[in-house]
Copies of this chain bind each other. A is one copy, B any other.
């Protein structure tokens, strides 16, 4: 009997819902606006979209093994309890597992979005076959996941993996987390763009201004990538700096944990080699000999699908107990 999996990825802007087979292939997927379906409306929208996708594939509820969902926020993945959602303020201590199980009738498993992405990459993407892996997502924040000896490591309170909050300078910018000099305070999207906008307002020469149609407030990382690929010195330099900062943070992680692979995903990773080259150079130059030689830095492979693929994998892990 063929069984199927439901994978859900709650993003800042879109919530993706997919139906997958047991090998992690996406059969059908669709999405809706996260911001327009907050709180209980999110539960309903997930369930409705899953029903509609199921109908199109002529699947019944009994054809599903279960539902996995990744959410941005702090949570207890064992109980499926979300302490808070990063993008849905005032929805706190949500028993997401219970709510979704009641609504969909499917066994449901919940995890943090970065952990879910990492699981997707390790099972089907860039990390296939690797046992010691560090995952990073570069976006508004810098998320992380630590896989050691084949297992996702959670730490004492299930909050391990905060690579974004490894400091790279004792006296650095203050970070939203309350810390000082965290890598996120250098390379997080908003921190990064704030510096760029400040530079441009001060009159730095760069084609980014023209690319943004002189609307400084609308500048995006993609515009910096475009400028850099066109040879813009300022933009090239900003990406190089980002790579170097990341290289320093990863030097500490690599010396400490001796991983074989570092997978980097998220929107900012779209700058590609503009960031990856200086990052690899910095790591090679600064990390200890053996650790630095071993640690390969690669880009995430599953792209936007990593979330739903990893979420679906949660179901297999929990119900089939093949891996943990």
Distance in angstroms between the alpha carbons of A21 and B149 in the assembled complex: 32
Q: How far is the CA of A156 from the CA of B262 in the complex (A)?
A: 12
Interface residue A290 (Cβ < 8 Å from any Cβ of B)? yes
- Could you say which residues of chain B place their CB within 8 Å of the CB of A161? 256
Which of A2-10, A166-174, A192-200, A225-233 lies at the interface with chain B?
A: A166-174
A170 to chain B: closest CB distance in Å?
5
- Chain B residues with CB under 8 Å of A159's CB are 258, 288, 290-291
Report the minimum CB–CB distance from A281 to chain B (whole Å).
Answer: 13
Interface string of A115-140 (1 = CB under 8 A from B): 00000000000000001100000000
Q: Is A63 an interface residue (CB 8 A)?
A: no
> How many angstroms between the C-alpha atoms of A160 and B179 in the bound complex?
26
The answer on a CB contact under 8 Å between A291 and B163 is no
Tally A residues with Cβ within 8 Å of B: 50
Known: A159-B290, A177-B288. A167 touches B252 (CB 8 A): yes
User: In the complex, what residue of chain B is closest to A251 when comparing beta carbons?
Assistant: B167
B160/A248 in contact, CB under 8 A: no
Report whether A259 and B149 are in contact in the complex, using a CB–CB cutoff of 8 Å: no
Q: Could you tell me if B258 and A156 are in contact, using CB atoms closer than 8 angstroms?
A: yes
Q: Which residues of B contact A144 (CB under 8 A)?
A: 256
Give residues 4-32 of A contacting B (CB, 8 Å).
Answer: none
Bound complex: CA A112 to CA B179 (Å): 33
* A245 at the B interface (CB under 8 A): yes
- Say if the beta carbon of A316 comes within 8 Å of chain B: no
Instruction: Judge if A52 is at the interface, Cβ distance under 8 Å.
Output: no
**A residues 184-217 with Cβ under 8 Å of B?**
none
**A241–B309 CA distance with the chains assembled, in angstroms:** 47
A179 to B255, CA, bound (A): 10
A89 within 8 A of B: no
Q: Is the CB of B157 within 8 A of A153?
A: no
A301 to chain B, nearest CB (A): 20
Task: Decide yes or no whether A277 CB sits under 8 A from chain B.
Answer: no
User: CB-defined interface of A239-253 with B at 8 Å, one 1/0 digit per residue?
Assistant: 000001100110111
Neighbour of A156 across the interface among B154, B168, B180, B294, CB < 8 A: B294
Knowing A258-B156, A289-B178, say if A169 contacts B170 (CB, 8 Å).
Answer: yes
**A179 to B, closest residue via Cβ:** B286
Nearest B residue to A149, CB-CB: B153
A162 interface residue (CB < 8 Å to B) = yes
| Interchain residue pairs with CB less than 8 A apart (27) | A146-B256, A148-B148, A148-B153, A153-B257, A155-B259, A157-B258, A157-B290, A159-B288, A161-B256, A162-B256, A162-B258, A162-B291, A166-B255, A167-B168, A167-B248, A167-B251, A168-B169, A170-B245, A170-B248, A177-B255, A178-B289, A179-B255, A179-B288, A182-B255, A249-B252, A253-B256, A256-B256
Which A-B residue pairs are the 10 nearest by beta carbons? Answer: A155-B258, A166-B252, A160-B258, A165-B255, A156-B260, A162-B255, A179-B286, A132-B156, A159-B290, A157-B290
